[in-house]
Amino acid sequence: MLTGKRLFREIMKGLIFMIVNNEYFQVLDELRKLKNVSVSELCEGIISERTYYRIINKNTILKLSIFMKLLKKLNISLVQFSNFLESKYNLGFNINQFIYLVHTQNYQNIEKYYQFAKENCTSKSMYDLMVKAYVKKYEYLQNMISKNEYISLLTQIINDFPNKSIYQIAVFCLFIESNVDVDTRLIQDVAMQILNVDFSLSLLLAIISLDTFIYTIIDKDTLSLSVKSKLIEKFLFYASFIPNKEIELKSYFYKAYLNKLNNQSIEDNLLCYLYKIFSYSDLEKYRNEKTKIEKIFNIDLIEFIKTKSQKIIK
């Protein structure tokens, strides 16, 4: 029987078909106990207590609708149920976390997520292919593989995708980010794909892909201003649903850029974005961002912060 670590591992691997109803149900029963709800309270109006115990003893196939009703009675959503598995077993790995840490280049505590992603996302499923691309990005940034090797692996991964999907778009974004010689037509094609695709499958991947793509092309003339604006609008739309400081701050950066395109003042939004870069403890990351900001907005960053901060002195 799959329980605990193995149950969660199987879910994360996508080998979820191996998990039968009973294991889901046992986790649900555990939640029932943690919530101090009796079996009779939980079952009331949904299934008989006898059926409940029969499911626990593996004798009955559980209909999804019944499972959902029982979760609802416990006031737990499907997402919370999935999150519970992670927090309960405290396995310290999470693919989304790995992708997020690679994207933000925050490598503290990343090793366990990297190992998990590397060992478990090895199939040719679209999801695993995308994760593999992020594994390669991390290895490249850590000088474990060369840039040429990284680009060549990304090309191979892109070709392995059976069809277009948000996962393939995510890998295209990495490819464009890594490759300065990329064909203009490819950039334009990916931009159109990003604008037309429904990212509901993963808001985090939407944000990260959009951010990777926009930040790569923002100071280049490859795309029209109108396409750049639409991409930024899409980023801002998805960013508004994710309560995350880094994403919120990046929104200010892109708002400032939109203001610049529309000949409006950039100062307020840019000042908000500076909270991000002045919070860094890494001088190299700070220098890279400073250079990019000064180029895009044509300002002297130090003079800018000195002037703006004067206005707030008591």
Nearer to other proteins, 146 or 288 (CB): 288
Q: Both tokens of residue 72?
A: 């609802």
Q: Which of residues 232-271 bind other proteins (CB under 8 A)?
A: 241-246, 248-249, 268, 271
Q: Which of 80, 115, 156, 291 binds other proteins (CB under 8 A)?
A: 80
Q: Compute and round to an integer the Cα radius of gyration of the chain.
A: 23
Return the residue matching tokens 């879910």. 11
Q: Which of residues 84-103 bind other proteins (CB under 8 A)?
A: 84, 87-88
Q: Look at phi and psi of residue 14 and say left if phi exceeds 0, alpha if psi is from -120 to 50, else beta.
A: left
Distance separating alpha carbons of residues 300 and 293, to the nearest angstrom = 9
- In the chain, what is the greatest distance between 2 CA atoms, to the nearest angstrom? 74
To the nearest whole angstrom, how small is the minimum distance from the Cβ of residue 91 to other proteins?
Answer: 13
Q: Residue 274, interface with other proteins (CB under 8 A)? A: yes
Count interface residues toward other proteins (CB under 8 A). Answer: 78
Q: Which of 155, 279, 288, 291 binds other proteins (CB under 8 A)?
A: 279
Q: Which of 75, 146, 288, 307 binds other proteins (CB under 8 A)?
A: 75
CA atoms within 13 A on the CB side of 38: 5
Cβ atoms within 10 Å of 285's Cβ, excluding its own: 15
Nearer to other proteins, 153 or 206 (CB): 206
Q: Which of residues 44-73 bind other proteins (CB under 8 A)?
A: 61-65, 67-69, 72
Stretch touching other proteins by CB under 8 A, among 146-154, 169-177, 186-194, 300-308: 300-308
Nearer to other proteins, 186 or 197 (CB): 197
Q: Residue 196, interface with other proteins (CB under 8 A)? A: no
Distance separating alpha carbons of residues 117 and 135, to the nearest angstrom = 7
Q: Both tokens of residue 185?
A: 């037509």
